[in-house]
């Protein structure tokens, strides 16, 4: 099952996120996930796992410190991935930071321990460099990530090649209905990079509450004979968003992929809509000393 992007290319609706996985772990993960049917893999320079990717539907991202070096950064990713082109290349965050070398993913901090933001490079400049990747044949599709409505609107206004995707955090506790609908209205596919709310990983890193423990969701498991995670992923798919859950366990990979054989009723979709808390679980401010979402 796939979503057709605004340039005609198809993107599998279920993918695999690989944040915090490296080395042999990622090789085994890819091998197992391909056997299970996965064809869409989401990586990034910042994840330091690009060298383990295979040529399927590959998404990777431009890191903050390379906004002034887009073509070089893309070529660096392609070299690590051993690919001729990317299926999708995203601007990881809507912020340019101090350059630390092409492909380097350290977040430079100033003397006060705050992210060293580069105020000389506009997002428009970055986007036009992204557009060059398409004309050069280095990326079939380009997109944005972690952009709100205002930044997405601006990108639509100054772009010659429209963003095909906006990858954002969205799950039942952080539904972002206005942003999702805005993107879809304007032909931008929404990908949920934290479709399960980060689960245990974000609880450990950021102290956030997991949507997977919600009693309302737990109450639906018997009705559908599915796990809470499967219900949440199915909810995302029925919103016409691409979901890219992350797991390193084979049984979880299999479970997360088995979400196309059932459908949530309208009543239960409405029930899940009531769970929204406007609750973000991914908090990079912990590392950057600044809240970019404030």
Which residues belong to the annotated binding site for substrate? 92
Q: Which residues contact 68 (CB under 8 A, 6 or more apart)?
A: 96, 99, 118, 120, 121
The phi and psi torsions of 3 (rounded to 5 degrees) equal -105, 135
Within 13 Å, how many C-alpha atoms sit on residue 236's CB side?
34
Residues 144, 124: Cα–Cα separation, whole Å: 12
Contact, 106 vs 100, CB < 8 A?
Answer: yes
- Which of 38, 47, 147, 173 is catalytic? The answer is 47
Contact, 256 vs 14, CB < 8 A?
Answer: yes
Contact, 21 vs 29, CB < 8 A?
Answer: yes
Biggest distance spanned by C-alpha atoms of the chain: 55
**Is 89 a catalytic site residue?**
no
Q: Any idea which residues carry the catalytic annotation?
A: 47
């Amino acid at each position: 099952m796939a979503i057709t992007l605004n340039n005609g290319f198809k993107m599998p609706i279920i993918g695999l996120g690989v944040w915090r996985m490296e080395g042999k772990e990622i090789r085994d993960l890819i091998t197992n996930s391909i056997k299970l049917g996965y064809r869409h893999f989401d990586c990034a320079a910042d994840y330091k796992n690009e060298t383990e990717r295979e040529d399927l539907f590959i998404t990777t991202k431009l890191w903050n410190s390379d906004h002034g070096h887009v073509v070089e950064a893309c070529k660096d990713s392609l070299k690590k991935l051993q690919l001729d082109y990317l299926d999708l290349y995203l601007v990881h965050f809507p912020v340019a930071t101090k350059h630390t070398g092409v492909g380097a993913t350290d977040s430079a901090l100033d003397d006060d321990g705050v992210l060293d933001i580069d105020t000389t490079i506009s997002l428009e400049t970055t986007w036009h460099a992204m557009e060059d990747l398409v004309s050069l044949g280095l990326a079939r599709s380009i997109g944005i990530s972690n952009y709100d409505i205002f930044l997405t609107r601006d990108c639509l206004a100054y772009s010659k090649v429209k963003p095909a995707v906006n990858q954002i955090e969205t799950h039942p506790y952080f539904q972002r209905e206005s942003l999702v609908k805005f993107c879809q209205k304007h032909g931008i596919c929404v990908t949920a990079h934290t479709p399960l709310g980060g689960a245990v990983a974000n609880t450990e890193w950021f102290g956030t509450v997991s949507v997977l423990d919600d009693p309302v969701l737990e109450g639906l498991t018997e009705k559908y004979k599915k796990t809470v995670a499967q219900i949440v992923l199915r909810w995302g798919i029925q919103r016409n968003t691409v979901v890219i859950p992350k797991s390193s366990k084979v049984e979880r990979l299999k479970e997360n992929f088995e979400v196309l054989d059932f459908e949530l009723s309208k009543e239960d979709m409405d029930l899940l809509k009531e769970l929204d808390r406007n609750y973000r679980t991914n908090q990079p401010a912990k590392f950057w000393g600044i809240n970019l979402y404030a």
